[in-house]
Amino acid sequence: MISVAMTPVPRSSVVAYRDDGPLSRGMGAMVAGQLPPLPPAIAGAFVTGVLLVVGIGAADGLAVFAPVVTLLLAGPGSSHRHDGRLDWLVPPILRLIEYGFVACVGFAHGVSVGVLFALLGAIAFHHYDTVYRVRQRVYPPPWLARAGLGWDGRMLVVAFGGLIHAVEPVYALLAIYLWGLFGWESLTCWLATPAAGVEATDHGTND
């Protein structure tokens, strides 16, 4: 069982919602929280959109560089406290980038709808579970972000699938891995969480 009590509290709920992987967090550590997170995230979304429009049709097109560009732009902002007035917009922007990239690559390379939605569903389940946990103060363990690869790592895996002309197998394997990881970890975490503690949090939130 996972020890919920030993899970450290994130610096802010917005930071927890970002779902950064090891690469993004490593880049954030280099700037030590000095880079505001919102402008780089917006720039990353814009550049990613341009790359998808220009090069998504070919496996060796410009679209494969979208994860790298997004990581270079948005990654360093991961160490910021996200306490600005509009910094809450950063996680939705990162979700838009990741979901849009996964969907566009999948449709452009003929991935079956079932496999595509299985992968998007696993990612969406993880993000919903994270939001609900943070609201209940049942925080995900740090190792989950590493094992789950983060938005940055998952986008790089998808791009790798395009480079080796194996998008559908990569999507299928990634979906199986993420459903197994996120589903098992979520189930064991909630089973280890006292129901009284969650109910008390619900009452405190509604009061």
Residue of 33, 50, 30 whose CA lies nearest to 42:
50
Residue 76, SS3 per DSSP: helix
Q: Model-level pTM greater than 0.95?
A: no
Q: Backbone phi, then psi, for 180, in 5-degree steps? A: -65, -45
Mean confidence (pLDDT) of the chain: 84
Please write the tens of the pLDDT for every residue from 50-107.
888 876 554 446 677 788 888 988 989 888 888 888 999 999 999 999 999 999 889 8
Angle in degrees, 0-180, between the axes of helices 113-136 and 195-206, rounded to the nearest 10: 80
- Rounded distance between C-alpha atoms, residue 138 and residue 197, angstroms: 9
Neighbouring C-beta atoms of residue 83, cutoff 10 Å = 11
Q: Which domains does the chain have, with CATH numbers?
A: 4-206 (1.20.120)
Instruction: Give the model's confidence band at 2: pLDDT under 50 very low, under 70 low, under 90 confident, else very high.
Output: very low
Q: Is the pLDDT of residue 3 over 50?
A: no
- Rounded distance between C-alpha atoms, residue 96 and residue 102, angstroms: 10
Please write the tens of the pLDDT for every residue from 116-139.
999 999 999 999 999 998 888 888
- Rounded distance between C-alpha atoms, residue 26 and residue 30, angstroms: 7
**Helix (DSSP H) and strand (DSSP E) numbers for the chain:** 10, 0
Tokens 């790089």: give the residue. Answer: 156
Instruction: Give the model's confidence band at 4: pLDDT under 50 very low, under 70 low, under 90 confident, else very high.
Output: very low
